Amino acid sequence: MVNTLLVILVIIAVIAFILYKIKENQKAEVESAVEQDDQTYTLDKMIIFIKKRLDEITKVNLYDIGLSEEELKRRKNKKYELKKALKGCTYGDVNDKKYIKELIYDLLSKEYGVTETNISKAIPFDIPSLLTGQDKFDVIIHEYQKEFGYEALGEMIKKYNLDEMKYVQGESKPCYVITDDEIGKIYDQENFQLSFGDKLEIVVQRIYQKYKGYSSIDEVRDMNIDGVSGGVSGLPESFLSQVAQTDADYLSQIVDAKVPRACDSIWIMFHGKSIRLAFLSFGTEAELKRVCQNIYKYNNPGQLSDTNGYKINEMKDGSRVVVVRPSMSETWAFFVRKFDVQRATLEQIVKFDGKEETIELLKFLVKGARIIALTGEQGCRKNNNAYGNDRKYIRNNEPSYN
């Protein structure tokens, strides 16, 4: 009996020692991955760490760790779920995006050692004068989402009348644009008080959009707006490189005048108005190219190549996406139409005088199963989804006539 107990104790001690060594090795790997220096808590270093850790998690051989059958099954399911989410978030799946962001949040707070004192090295929250237009916009959208969810961008635009035409320096005609100065004034006026959790969530979003998301438009694309596009205006990189070789003085004039490049081109469609977001930019043509190569990939529509220079597809949420690339176009560009008209009614769409008679006529045309042509310029709210919703409304709320 005594010998049996001794054997059991020895086995328990060996198992405990092995588990201790495994945990020590895992801890050592994490510590070696986070080498402290002046750049440790910058966004670039954090992105490198997140890429490495997620790669390790998805590629680890679970059979070499010595897990129990139940634990092995649980870890396999978790690994499969992560792989699925990493693939699905590039298609515009908001649930997969949320899952990946929560994982990044845990990795930064528990393994990387991000704290209240060093988080400002990533984004200078404590020094408003150092915040860029995108930094301030990220803070505003994050705070507005707490109350309005995916209506955050629309609520901000309506509250501050950002969808009105205005004159911009260097332009002779008014245009729809949201400038960096306007975002700065909104940020100062709102005067948000951010907790450490809020700051970390904003940093996580910035890391996600550069790693798996759609760069500067990642949060904008999720909002309830009519559409978003990028690379559709401004000077293409090929033109700038050609000018640099032939006329350096002209190039310097372009730079001094701050003429927008194609990678600075971000537009949204809001209530039928095309509004340029002048405070946002992809930064480089390479980043715009990365977004264009990922945004159309849902359901594997085929390769976007030089010989096949455009793709028309839909995203996970039903948005329609069109992507073009050189040499078919001057630069990489994409157009996303959201078709966010679930709440649209005929009273909202038809706004001219005498609309009551027009709406009554449309109701009887639908009841009579007549063929109706809806025409108009781009962005005038003529899409079939809006009409389909009103037809459903008529069927459910009006008496039928035989």
Does some domain include residue 172?
yes
360 with 256, same domain: the answer is: no
Q: Which tens digit of pLDDT belongs to each residue from 185-210?
A: 999 999 999 999 999 999 999 999 99
> For the chain, how far is it from start to end, CA to CA, in angstroms?
92
Q: Are 43 and 206 in contact (CB under 8 A)?
A: yes
171 with 300, same domain: the answer is: yes
Local structure of residue 268 (DSSP, 8 states): E
What's the confidence (pLDDT) of residue 3?
67
Does some domain include residue 271?
yes
Does some domain include residue 161?
yes
Beta bridge partners of 277: 178
Instruction: Check pLDDT > 90 for residue 313.
Output: yes
Does some domain include residue 81?
no
Does some domain include residue 77?
no
- The whole domain housing 10 covers 1-29
Q: Are 320 and 339 in contact (CB under 8 A)?
A: yes
223 with 358, same domain: the answer is: no
74 or 374: which leads in pLDDT: 74
**C-beta atoms surrounding 179 within 10 Å:** 17
159 with 184, same domain: the answer is: yes
pTM: 0.77
Does some domain include residue 200?
yes
312 with 223, same domain: the answer is: yes
Q: How many domains does the chain have?
A: 3
331 with 213, same domain: the answer is: yes
Q: Which tens digit of pLDDT belongs to each residue from 2-59?
A: 667 676 776 777 677 666 666 655 554 444 445 555 678 899 999 999 999 999 988 8
Does some domain include residue 62?
no
Does some domain include residue 377?
yes
156 with 24, same domain: the answer is: no
280 with 391, same domain: the answer is: no
What's the confidence (pLDDT) of residue 341?
53
What's the confidence (pLDDT) of residue 168?
82
Instruction: Check pLDDT > 90 for residue 369.
Output: no
The average pLDDT across 219-224 equals: 93
148 with 293, same domain: the answer is: yes
The average pLDDT across 68-95 equals: 89
- In DSSP notation, 9-59 reads HHHHHHHHHHHHHHHHHHHHHHHHHS--STTTTSHHHHHHHHHHHHHHHHH
